[in-house]
Structure 1
Amino acid sequence: MPTKVLNHFILLILITVMLAGCASNSKNVGSSGKTKIVFWAHQESAMNDAYNKLIKAYEAKHPDIEIEFQTFPYDVYNQKLKASFSAQNPPDVAEMFGTWVPEYSKNGALTEVPNIDKISKEYYPAPLGAYQYNGKLYGLPLEYNLENGGMLLHPEMFKNKGLEYPPKTWADLVENAKTLTVRNDNGIQIKGFDFVSLDNITFTFLSMILQQNGKYWGTDNHVSFQTPEAIRAMNTLTSLVSVDKVTDLSVFGGQLDSSDYFFRGNSAMTYRGPWTVASGLDNYKVKDFEYVPVPSFTNENPYFAAESGWGVVVASKSEIQKQALSFIQFLSENENLLQWNVSTFTVPAKKEVANNPEFLKKNPYMKAPLDILKYGQWMGPIADRDYFFKQINDNFQLIVSGQITVETGLGNIEKSINSSQDQHK
């Protein structure tokens, strides 16, 4: 090879190596030469504000670390995460919703969090569930995502009808709902008991199975919905719409949440998660309401199914796993997590935080959910969350409208979901 060509070839190799070195190091080197942790989250003002405060606290404690915090609209965030991990270029730390985590952990995309035995004792099982895979832990939940077990209630509506509140038994709830429902020629104007939302039909159904000491998971990550407990639960739910007529499907799937209609005065009781309380206080400025327990469907404890909520994970492709793990462990320290849960109006995933009197003092509406956290069970290894909920919601509507029987609907749900579970193995 001629000397000139050889020199050009060597120069090209050196430039390539230098560029490769810059590419591999630039991501984790800040402008001031500090180690940079890239942290992604979805856009939610309260959560983002809480993260920013803790990021400043962490950087003050670790002056050699710089955290680059990037947020993205919720509608695109999940897809952006998938794309970044597929391209082998994920952030060092990512905020993930619990139901997203198993797909990443089983594919080796996440870094193991040490001390699972110790951590398992510190957290409630339900929020921790999705972050575990094959006996190992792949992230830390920041909240206990609770969509059921509690409900919004208008005390004045009960007082005007001479009713005591909250209802103590399921039978009381149904009878109160009948009395509180207001109709005119155009249909229901005030729903006595509204559980009809994209999430709560599913959550209520699953929880009613658990409250009968039933199960809905079979073998090989398949669901089992053709059981006496599932049939009774679905019969009861559909009867609330088609027989008792304490709610309807008129706004189901619309742009507004069922809690919005509650705060507008269109329902007396609405089965919804405690996160809706902040909306009533901040957006609607409503004060005539309480957040109270939903009585168990049976004489058993009010067991309920819960998803693992928002949490943080570390990418296995991160070149600074040690520092990234240090950061998510810092976020999960008791005092920091207390601050995060209080300011985001989320239910604590960690037992010590939930039992801290300071939390209830700052969020008094949280008493009802805090009292039942011990009864929560992880929802289970759902492969496709949206598909799972859609199958239950779609068949619920068909049953309510009389197009199919409860047994047929449950058979449809079971077959469809199990097919989806198999496709995602």
Structure 2
Amino acid sequence: MKRLLASLLCASMLLVSFAGCGSKEAAPSSTPETTPETPASSTEAETEPTGEGATIELWLHQNEAWNASHQTIADQYMSENPGQEIVIKTFPYSDFLSKIQTSLLSGGEGADIYEMWGGWALDFTGTGALAEVPADISATFENFYAPVLGAYTRDGKYYGVPLEFNIEYGGLLVNKKLFGEKGLEYPKTWADIEKIADATSSKDGEVMNLRGFDFVSEDNILYTFLAMILSSGGSYLTEDGKVDFTTPEAVDAMTTLVSYVRDKGYTNLDGITSGKEGYSFVYTDESMMDIVGPWAVADGSASYGLEYGTDYEYIALPPYKEPVKFAAETGWGLTVAESSDVKDAAWKYVAYFDSPEVLVKHNIACSQIPPRTEIVEMQEYKDGMPYAQPLLDILPAGQFIGPFNTTTIKENIDNIFTELCTTDNYPTIKDGLVALTDNLNTAFFG
């Protein structure tokens, strides 16, 4: 979530860069953190229409491209359903979670439908604040990928409808210009990655001149680590639901990642210590390649003035081992308040929004990976998101990361990784992973 602001900027530019739609004027003119609370509907009403009509209030976090897509779909729905009014209110991202908490848990004035991040939903599914997803909607979940449902599920019941597949692993951002200048082909195996990194990495002391291979960021250390464990046949979850990073597969994976920084010098820790995301170094000719989610792709043109296909590309990350396996956390979705007076009407709108023929347009407009299999196969999506294909091929291999606060996991793993790379605080890699495991289980289970 640290990179959400960059992601929001990218979302408004992706159609310009890749699909040829939209306009450069669609880029946000102010950040979500500073834009005041605003209603996005021009027909907001204080009271519900009588009879068959209903006024449904929908809360979103502020992002120009995403909000525009929501409004377009709401307008279309209202034109097809006379008497139904969708009132959209948007809030700065920095305030959005507290707004949701106040309205759902403290009895404050709230919405009928909430745009909800999966990691937040974990705090609400057991409180009675969210309405259970109706059976006619949850029946479609057999066509959804496992990670997108994880955080909305409790005791066999569903409390949210996913809008996206949040994926941070499986794609490799490459500096096409540097590969061409050095006469190198893109890697097709993990051994190729190491060979290229061995040949191109350069630094003066602790200052990197060129990163041959980068994976260091708040998100990428975690998701690369987990994918290496899973692809090696291991697991980081115990039968009683706790975490265990002391397995042989985990020790081997962390040993490899630490060696890339401490011993081989492929990269350094700037991606988590300098305030810059690791992928940005690809765009400034300071990195050959970086593991990153698709949200970073459009930033090359939006923020750095580069041209996709000429200066940089997004390709499939070669598998660490086969078969490919990876973990993902649940992303954005729609939830309905149990206290809503128009629950039936709210769920009807959610079902409309989530239909493949509607959601595909939202996924393209918001630069999202689809949560359901039907959209992945739609030519409309493939044409609108051509660079996403490397990720679409591996979506079935994803598993839900687990019902944990992922911010806590990321902070702890990044801290241990930093210590293992820069200090002798732990005699061995395994000693550091024992401490990591103990810290996380204490944080989650007491």
- 2:359 maps to 337
CA distance in 2 between partners of 1:70 and 1:296 (Å):
43
Alignment-mate amino acid for residue 366 of structure 2: T
| Higher mean C-alpha displacement, 185-194 vs 143-152 | 185-194
Matches within 5 A, 1:242-261: 242-261=262-281
Q: How far is 1:157 from its partner? A: 1.8
Supply the distance in 2 between the matched residues of 1:181 and 1:334 (Cα, whole angstroms).
45
Normalised to the residue count of structure 2, the TM-score between the two structures is 0.84
Aligned partner letter, 1:82: Q
Aligned-pair CA distance for 1:125: 1.2
The whole-number CA distance in structure 1 between the counterparts of 2:431 and 2:414 is: 14
Partner AA of 2:145 in structure 1: Y
Three-state SS of the structure 1 residue aligned to 2:238 is coil
Given candidates 224, 228, 246, the residue that maps to 2:248 is: 228
Q: 1:102 & 1:184 partners in 2: Cα distance?
A: 45
- In structure 1, stretches of 5+ residues that fail to align are 1-25
Whether 1:81 aligns to 2:81 is no
- Could you tell me how far apart the structure 2 residues matched to 1:118 and 1:28 are? 33
- Amino acid in the other structure paired with 1:130: A
Q: Partner residue of 2:145?
A: 124
**How far has the Cα of 1:183 moved from its partner?**
2.9
Partner of 1:275: helix, strand, or coil?
helix
Cα deviation for residue 240 of structure 1 reads 0.7
Is contact 1:274–1:366 with CA below 8 Å preserved after alignment?
yes
Does structure 1 retain, via aligned residues, the 8 Å contact 2:190–2:320? yes
Q: Does 1:207 align with 2:227?
A: yes
Matching residue within 158, 164, 170 for 2:179: 158
1:302 alignment partner in structure 2? 324
User: SS at 2:334's partner residue?
Assistant: strand
Give the match for residue 369 of structure 1. Answer: 391
Is contact 2:202-2:210 (8 Å) kept? yes
Deviation at 1:219, TM superposition (A): 3.2
Q: What is the CA–CA distance in structure 2 between the aligned matches of 1:131 and 1:250, rounded to whole Å? A: 34
Quote the offset at 1:254 in angstroms: 3.7
Query: Which residue identity is paired with 2:106?
Result: A
Q: Note the 1:269-284 alignment, pairs <5 A.
A: 269-284=289-304
Structure 1 residues 48-127: aligned runs within 5 Å: 48-89=67-108, 90-115=110-135, 118-127=139-148
Paired residue secondary structure (1:66)? strand
Aligned to 2:410: 389
Q: How does 1:394-413 map to 2 (within 5 A)?
A: 394-403=415-424, 404=426, 405-413=428-436
1:20-59 pair list within 5 angstroms: 29=48, 34-59=53-78
Matched, 1:420 2:443: yes
Change (3 A) 1:251 1:421: closer
Matching residue of 1:175:
195
CA positional deviation for 1:373: 0.9
Consecutive aligned runs of 4 or more in structure 1 exceeding 4 Å deviation = 30-34
Deviates more, 1:270-279 or 1:402-411: 402-411
Offset from partner CA, 1:51-93 (integer Å, 9 cap, x none): 1111111111222121221111112211221121122243110
1:291 maps to which residue? 314
- Rate the CA distance shift 1:236–1:27 in 2: closer, same or farther, 3 A: farther
- SS of the residue corresponding to residue 272 of structure 2 reads coil
Mapped contact 1:158–1:180 kept (Cα < 8 A): no
Match of 1:12 in 2: none
Pairwise CA distance, 1:259:
2.2
Distance 1:77 1:239 in 2: 40
Output the amino acid matched with 1:294. L
Between 249-258 and 56-65, report the one with greater CA deviation: 249-258
Q: CA deviation at 1:385?
A: 2.2
Among 166, 171, 178, which residue is 1:145 paired with? 166
1:110-146 Cα offsets, whole Å, 9 max, x none, are 1111237632321111212222211111111111001
| CA distance, structure 1, for counterparts of residue 338 and residue 64 of structure 2 | 28
Q: Which residue of 1 aligns with 2:239?
A: 219
2:229 aligned partner, one-letter code: I
Decide whether the 8 Å contact of 1:28 with 1:38 is kept in 2: no
- TM-score, with structure 1 as normaliser: 0.88
Give the distance between the partners of 2:46 and 2:155, measured in 1 at CA. 31
Rounded to whole Å, the distance in 2 between the matches of 1:255 and 1:43 is: 23
Structure 1: distance between partners of 2:347 and 2:273: 39
User: How is 1:189-208 mapped onto 2 (pairs within 5 angstroms)?
Assistant: 189-208=209-228
Shift of 1:258: 2.1
Question: Which segments of 5 or more consecutive residues in structure 2 lack a partner in the other structure?
Answer: 1-44
Post-superposition CA distance 1:126-185 (Å, at most 9, x none): 2122222111111111110011111101223223223221x1221211111122223346
Secondary structure of the 1:144 match is coil
Identical columns (%): 35
Corresponding residue number in structure 1 for 2:15: none
CA distance 1:42–1:181, shift in 2 (3 Å): same
8 A contact 1:198–1:253 mirrored in 2: no
Answer whether contact 2:58 2:111 (CA < 8 A) is retained: yes
CA distance, structure 2, for counterparts of residue 388 and residue 85 of structure 1: 26
Q: How many residues align?
A: 395
SS in 2 for 1:37: strand
